[in-house]
Amino acid sequence: MDYLLANTPLESLETECLIVAVFANQKLSPAAQTLDSLTGGIITDILQRGDIKGKLAETLLINYLPYAAFKRALLVSFGDENELTAKDYRKALNAAAKTLKTTQISSVVCCLAEAKVNGQCATWNARQIVEAFDAPFYQFNDCKSKPADKLCLTSVSLHSLTEAKAIQTGINQGIAIAQGVALAKRVSDLPGNICTPTYLAEQAVDIAAQYPNLSAEILEEEQMQKLGMGSFLSVSRGSRQPAKLITLEYKGGADDAQPIVFVGKGLTFDAGGISLKSSAGMDEMKYDMCGSAAVLGALQAAAQLQLPLNIVGIIPSSENMPDGDANKPGDIVTSMAGLTIEILNTDAEGRLILCDALTYAKKFNPDVVIDMATLTGACLVALGRVPSGLLGNDDTLCNDLFNASETALDSVWRLPLWDEYQDQLKSNFADIANIGGRDAGTITAACFLSRFTKDYQWAHLDIAGTAWKSGDAKGATGRPVPLLVQYLLNRANAA
């Protein structure tokens, strides 16, 4: 999809479809008023008939207009004009995009960017428009013998006369986020037999090749062995696919600026290992690499925007399979940090690969480290599919992520990481057990990680509930790419 700026007066524009806002009580936005007068008052007529009430997220496509320059118009209603929240704005944008998906329209002029949204600016509006219009047009065609019907819409122009510059900035940011989201969705939707650790490594190399200040390094099992990554490698031993430790390094900041480090769980298939999962829904465990997908998407977006930051992405990638050589319950392994781990359940493998990646992260002298992982089913029980779980050892970092999540509309909710929970990880035979019992599974998983992150400011995002959708809409969501990029934009602004 192309996203452009249209900054000429509506009177001198031509388009297949003009998108304008209407509000409760038959109120018209400025663009709707112009359209109304250009068409001899038909918008007022339509509102008076009650065909669109002005309730939040209603849409009405007017398929013919008595005005040659605009073939059609899409009315989008935003409810009460003076109480437009960020969430409501996005909800209406989503509805507008969904309406367009089923039409024959290939290009639109969208007049929704100048709306007054509580607490937000025109740049934010434009970013949201691009994200909202891009999302429903994502199609996964990689594995279909015949691609799905091509969608018509290929061009969205954001109209603005007064805030063209701010809106152009938002368009650029929105494109980078939307492309990061689409990349994350695609690699996550790919099945485990195609998207292997080797495939993920190739993706990282491909992305890096597109930007001069982005580089990729892939460590093989032998090299990880030398680094002492006994915990990570123990998971991979049960699989025929070789593990990869993927590092993407983006240098957009000063040479001596400490990097923001992202770490993403890249389990390209999690069968559970010897603690085998039950078969129902096991296919969904191809999504156990959504954390790594988000790291790829966020690094690509940062490079595309050439943010003035240094950023490192670290992806430990492996399969978790049952095999004669796989971890067995009761096995004890030694992590790169030197801590010994008793593996009481081989299905708690994410933390086993992440702990060594988190130790490895120290070598970059990080400013902050943020890991993201489809880590626990317990997170779905606690928080459902709405926010990602947020835990960490630093209030400033957690608050920064929370604030970014509100702006990005990619929500997180913090859970406590209190010392009291650490006791659940006691082992009679090793330094630490890899599971903490039935209670507070998301917290004890984060407690496990916290043993390896004492040397830096760290936050953990449990995205088990948010990174994909089950049921009819089964597929990846691309979360938390919007949150990560917003966090980076905020950091770049503060710098």
Q: List the catalytic residues.
A: 277, 351
Minimum CB–partner distance for residue 401 and ligand BES (Å): 20
* Cβ proximity to Zn ion, 238 vs 350, nearer residue: 350
Q: Does 372 bind ligand BES (CB under 6 A)?
A: no
Minimum CB–partner distance for residue 207 and ligand BES (Å): 24
Minimum CB–partner distance for residue 313 and ligand BES (Å): 20
Question: Taking a C-beta distance cutoff of 8 angstroms, is the pair 217, 249 a contact?
Answer: yes
Containing 485, the helix (H) or strand (E) segment is helix 481-494
Please tell me the count of residues contacting ligand BES according to CB under 6 A: 15
Bond into 480 cis (ω within 30): yes
Q: Which two structure tokens, joined as six digits, stand for 356?
A: 């060594």
Alpha-carbon distance of 490 to 394, in angstroms, equals 17
Alpha-carbon distance of 439 to 82, in angstroms, equals 45
HSE toward the beta carbon, residue 240, CA cutoff 13 A: 2
Window contacting ligand BES (CB under 6 A); options: 39-47, 74-82, 348-356, 417-425? 348-356
Return the residue of 200, 326, 348, 352 that touches ligand BES, per CB under 6 A: 348
Window contacting ligand BES (CB under 6 A); options: 102-110, 142-150, 210-218, 341-349? 341-349
Other C-beta atoms closer than 10 Å to the C-beta of 485 total 30
Return the residue of 270, 319, 356, 400 that touches Zn ion, per CB under 5 A: 270
Q: Does 484 bind ligand BES (CB under 6 A)?
A: no
Helices (H) and strands (E) in the chain — how many of each? Answer: 14, 21
Q: Does 435 bind ligand BES (CB under 6 A)?
A: yes
Alpha-carbon distance of 370 to 457, in angstroms, equals 9
Interface pattern 337-356 for Zn ion (x via CB under 5 A) = -------------x------
Binding positions for Zn ion, 221-240, rule CB under 5 A: none
Question: 57 touches which of Mn ion, Zn ion, ligand BES, none (CB within 5 to 8 A by kind)?
Answer: none
Interface pattern 335-354 for Mn ion (x via CB under 5 A) = ------------x-x-----
Return the residue of 36, 114, 221, 288 that touches Zn ion, per CB under 5 A: 288
Tell me the pairing of strands 340-343 and 331-334: antiparallel
Q: Does 441 bind ligand BES (CB under 6 A)?
A: yes
Minimum CB–partner distance for residue 484 and Mn ion (Å): 23
Question: Taking a C-beta distance cutoff of 8 angstroms, is the pair 266, 197 a contact?
Answer: yes
Minimum CB–partner distance for residue 350 and ligand BES (Å): 4
Nearest by Cα to 320 from 296, 297, 343, 294: 343
Window contacting ligand BES (CB under 6 A); options: 147-155, 177-185, 309-317, 371-379? 371-379
Window contacting ligand BES (CB under 6 A); options: 43-51, 140-148, 235-243, 369-377? 369-377
**DSSP 8-class letter at 313:** E
Window contacting Mn ion (CB under 5 A); options: 268-276, 337-345, 419-427, 475-483? 268-276
Containing 180, the helix (H) or strand (E) segment is helix 164-189
Question: Taking a C-beta distance cutoff of 8 angstroms, is the pair 447, 424 a contact?
Answer: yes
Alpha-carbon distance of 17 to 63, in angstroms, equals 9
**DSSP 8-class letter at 336:** T
CA angle 113, 117, 121 (to 5 degrees): 65
Q: Which two structure tokens, joined as six digits, stand for 265?
A: 């769980």
Q: Does 310 bind ligand BES (CB under 6 A)?
A: no
Q: Which two structure tokens, joined as six digits, stand for 8?
A: 């000429």
Minimum CB–partner distance for residue 271 and Zn ion (Å): 9
Q: Does 345 bind ligand BES (CB under 6 A)?
A: yes
Residues that bind Zn ion (CB under 5 A): 267, 270, 288, 350
> Which positions lie near Mn ion, rule CB under 5 A?
270, 347, 349
